[in-house]
Chains A and B, each alone.
Chain A
Amino acid sequence: MTSYVPLSTMDLFFAAALVAINGAISFYYGLKLEKTLAIASVRMVVQLAAVALVLKFIFAQTSPLWTVLFACVMAIAAGAEIVMRQEHRFVGWRAMLLSSSPAFLSGLMTTFIALAVIQPQPWHAPRILLPILGMLVGNALSGVALVLDTMTSAALRERAAIEARLALGATRIVAFGDILRRSLRTGLMPILNAMAAAGIVSLPGMMTGQILAGIDPVEAAKYQVLIMFLIAGATAIAVLAGALASVHLLTDDRHRLRLDRLQTHTNRLR
C-alpha cells in the first residue's frame, strides 16, 4: 500500500497558478469576475487554514468542552446559512430559530448514531465527531434550505388555492398537502441523486480523501457507505421537520394562511 504523500507549500503555489486560467477567461470575456475570484480564492485559503489550526488545537485537547464550543459555532453558522439562502424569510427570531434549527439538530442526532457504530476511544474523540457532524449538518442544511424555499414561494404563488381549501374546511396540513409533498421531494432529491451517482459519475469527496491519505479503497468505500446512509437519514429528518415547521409558521392555530409573517429579501445568497 502506498502511503500518504505530504504536500509542500510550493505545491500549493503551483496549483494556485491554475486559478489564473479562471482570471484569464473572466478578463477575455469581460465577465468582471476577477475581484470575486480573488476574494473567493483568498477566503478559501484563509478559512481552511484557520479551521485546520482550530481543529489541530482541539484535537490536542482532552477536554470535550472545546468540541462542544466548535459544534455551537457550527450550529450558528448553519442556521445563518439557511436563513441567508431564503428569498422569503420568516419575521422574528423565534420563527428563524424554528425554521433553521432542524438541520443542526438532525445532524447532531445522526452523529450520535455514527459514534455508536464507529465506537471511537473516547466516544467524543473530536477527530471523529467533528468531521462527521460537519458533513451531516452541511447536507441536512442544503435539504432544509431547499424545503423552506419551495414552501414559502409556493405559499405565495398559490395563496388563492390554499385559501380555497381552508375556506372549504380543510385543516392547514390538508390545505398544504400538495405543497408539502412537493417540497419534501425537492429537499430529498439531492441526496438521492448523490447516492445513485456515487462511484460512477464521481468519487465522493470523503472517499477520495481517504484514498489519497493511503487508506485501502475497500475500507474507504465502507466509510463512504456509512456516511451516505447517515446523510440520507439526517437529511430526511431535517427536511420533514423543516417542512412541518414551515407549515406551522405559514399558518396560525385558527388554520389561517399568514403570509404577513414572510418578508421578501432580494439579496439572497445562492
Chain B
Amino acid sequence: MLRVETLKVDPLPPLSFNVADGECLAIEGPSGSGKTRLLRAIADLDDAPGHVFLDGAERRELQAPEWRLRVRYVSSEPAWWTATAREAFDFAHPEMASRLDRSIAALALKTAILDNPLSTLSTGERQRLALVRAMIDEPRVLLLDEPSTGLDPQTAALVEELIRFQMLAGRSVILASHDQGQIGRLAHARLQLARPLPVRGGARQ
C-alpha cells in the first residue's frame, strides 16, 4: 500500500491519501493545478516536505534509485537516451525478453519497431514504448501522467487494458488525467486539485 502523509507540493495544501494494492487513484485538475508536481514528488524526483510510505517504509529510508525502482513515475512526454528502443531495454534477464514481446503485442506494436531509430517513430508509438519500458520491471506503484495523450481511442483502450492488468497483478496506480471517461473506467477514488497554481519560475507542468 502507498500512503501519502501531509505531502506539501507548493502551493497546494498538504495532501494525505492512501492507495491500496491493486487500486487506482485518479488525480483531476486543470492544467497547472500541480498534478505533475505531485506525481514527481511522490517519486522523489522533486524535493517535498512530508512523508510517503510504501508498505510502511518511508521513501528516505531507501536509497532514491531503490525507491524509484518501486515507485515509478511515467512522464506525459517520454524522453529517450538511446538511438533505438531496444538499447533502452538493457536487461540480462531472459524472462524480460518474453515479457517485452507480450507487452509490445498487447499495445498493438510490432517487435521490429524496437530496432527502428526512435526519431522515426510516431509520438504515439514512443508513448506506448515508454509505458512498456516503465512497466517491464514490475514496479509496485505506477504514477501515470496523462498516459494516453496523443493516442487514438482504440490504442488508448489497449493502454487502459494494460493498466488494468497491472492493477490485477496487485500494483497501485495513481493516474493524472483530463479524460473523465478514462478516470471513470479505471479509478477507484478521485482526488480533485481545484485551485490553479500561479506560474512560478522553474516550475514544471
Contacts and interface: CB of A to CB of B under 8 A. Distances in A.
A255 interface: yes
Contacts of B176: none
B61 interface: no
Given A168-B72, A169-B69, A256-B64, A163 B81 contact: no
Contact of A167 (B47, B66, B75): B75
A245 interface: no
Contacts of A158: 79, 81
A164 B64 contact: no
Interface in B56-92: 63-66, 68-69, 72-75, 77-81
Contacts of A113: none
Given A167-B68, A171-B65, A256 B81 contact: no
Contacts, number: 61
Contacts of B94: none
Interface residues of B, number: 25
A160 interface: yes
A167 B80 contact: no
Contact of B46 (A160, A169, A171, A256): A256
Among B43, B68, B74, which residue has the most Cβ atoms of chain A within 10 A?
Answer: B68
24 contacts: A158-B79, A160-B77, A161-B79, A164-B75, A164-B78, A164-B80, A166-B68, A167-B45, A167-B68, A167-B74, A168-B68, A168-B72, A168-B133, A168-B134, A168-B137, A169-B65, A169-B66, A178-B81, A254-B64, A255-B64, A256-B44, A256-B46, A256-B64, A257-B45
Interface of B: 43-47, 63-66, 68-69, 72-75, 77-81, 130, 133-134, 137, 202
